[in-house]
Structure 1
Amino acid sequence: MYNYIVSNRAPTVTLPPATTSIGAKPAPFMASFSSKGPNNVEPNILKPDITAPGLNILAAWTEAFSPLKYNIISGTSMSCPHVSAVAALLKAIHPNWSSAAIRSAIMTTAKQTNNLGKPITDALLNPATPFEYGSGHIQPSRAADPGLVYDACYNDYLLFLCGSIRKSLDPSFPCPTVAPPPSALNYPSLSIANLRGTMTVTRNVTNVGAATSSYSVTINEPSGFSVRISPTRLNFNAVGQTLSFGITVQAQSTARTNAFVFGSYTWSDGIHQVRSPIALSAA
């Protein structure tokens, strides 16, 4: 380049138009800077919930720091707006849904595979876990029609706090003498830390699909644990109907101690796949 410049009186350079590279593979993958679990505040709630695009995102930018009105940014501050926008769209489609129902729809319809059809990996192409991607990568269109949702109300969260921090933050809601364990919160995932023996928790699902529908469950058991769900079939006859099921988890002799292993359970009516990740560790 230097020789070209010094040997020409009027050196020129040609810049071709910018192009967008699409179809990169594998995608998505988990960025190295992405926040990871387990949940240090309450390990009996699986975190993160979901993953969304957050690497090299074209975003609006203040002119106070640049002559441009946009920038390329990476981070949770970029993935969060994607999820927030999906939540807003779901609220517009389903105005009667609670924030818990919206979160459930986003989580239970997420995908765990990349565009190669293989499990999502980290930036080094090692298999990722729910402590990296949560329920999976967000799928907005599927979230609009999840089939079932795990709903929760104000009192459910107060009861959760009773079991988690042993106190109520609302004077009008006294904690029961024996509070349920934090894992009992009606969450679209299941996490049980330091399990000794056997634990059973209850989950409630609300039908937001066809009025008459029947769901059966399949279980991918975490290594070293037995997971049983009862009943194994849920029969709905109305939109808005809520049914309950129990999840019984037992640590086997082969369970690793002080280390989480992962699995999942999925309710399906042949159309919807309502999937919940599982994270378990033995004491």
Structure 2
Amino acid sequence: VLPLTRRLVVSSLAARVQDNTRRPMSNSSFLRATPFAYGAGHVQPNRAADPGLVYDTNATDYLHFLCALGYNSTVIGTFMDGPNACPARPRKPEDLNYPSVTVPHLSASGEPRTVTRRVRNVGAEPAAYDVRVREPRGVSVSVRPSRLEFAAAGEEKEFAVTFRARAGRFLPGEYVFGQMVWSDGAGRRRHRVRSPVVVRVGAHRTSKTSVPVA
């Protein structure tokens, strides 16, 4: 639990993380903090009990994530039970169905990079969610579809997020931050499912992340 003097408050207007004095949150070095320091923000227990949407992640998702990082089936088998064959075409590491979205190697030339996510409706009834995005500086972000309609509780939907660098509006190698919010309307019962978005634009095209395994 954070001290009351540095409690996290999310401004609904500026969409910036602030402390209880309405100033930008600082990290341990008294510099302006980023999602690397505070993650998705402060937990609100009442809302956490009724999140609306969740990003379900199972053992298969993590298996595919390890395969995408470069681990082979033999190494994975040393800490997982049962058959663990990697798919012939493993997914990208950034496609792990995690609530936050990180793209560490976006091309500076404007070449698009797309990641996918899926969410499950854990509400008690059918619902429809629309997305709003605060784009990281120097990066355009589009979400397709921009509206998710769930016919029943427990239904799962997939969406894609596409990133493009804007020429002349970024510093190569710098991490920039934004957010993506799915909302099902207005009022006291509204759900706001917020995900941090982190992008790093490279000076040149780079290969995908890999981890050498002996």
Q: TM-score scaled by structure 2?
A: 0.76
Structure showing greater Rg = 1
2:211 paired residue number:
none
2:35 paired residue number:
130
2:50 paired residue number:
145
2:173 paired residue number:
258
Q: CA-to-partner distance for each residue in 1:38-68, whole Å, 9 max, x for gaps?
A: xxxxxxxxxxxxxxxxxxxxxxxxxxxxxxx
Aligned: 1:28 with 2:24: no
How many correspondences in the alignment?
A: 179
- Give 3-state SS (helix, strand or coil) of 2:65's partner: helix
State the superposition RMSD in angstroms. 2.1
Aligned residues with identical type, % of pairs: 42
Aligned: 1:172 with 2:83: yes
- Give 3-state SS (helix, strand or coil) of 2:61's partner: helix
- Give 3-state SS (helix, strand or coil) of 1:228's partner: strand
For the Cα contact (< 8 Å) 1:112–1:135, is it kept in 2? no
Q: How does 1:169-248 map to 2 (within 5 A)?
A: 169-170=76-77, 172-196=83-107, 197-248=111-162
Q: Distance in 1 between matches of 2:20 and 2:157?
A: 35
Q: Distance in 1 between matches of 2:18 and 2:192?
A: 14
Q: Distance in 2 between matches of 1:179 and 1:267?
A: 28
- Give 3-state SS (helix, strand or coil) of 2:67's partner: helix
Q: TM-score scaled by structure 1?
A: 0.59
- Which has a greater percent of strand? 2
- 1:139 Cα shift? 2.0
Distance change >3 Å, CA 124–CA 179, structure 1 → 2: closer
Q: CA-to-partner distance for each residue in 1:165-208, whole Å, 9 max, x for gaps?
A: 34231371221232111100000000111222221111100001
Q: Distance in 1 between matches of 2:67 and 2:29?
A: 41
- Which has a greater percent of helix? 1
Q: Distance in 2 between matches of 1:116 and 1:143?
A: 24
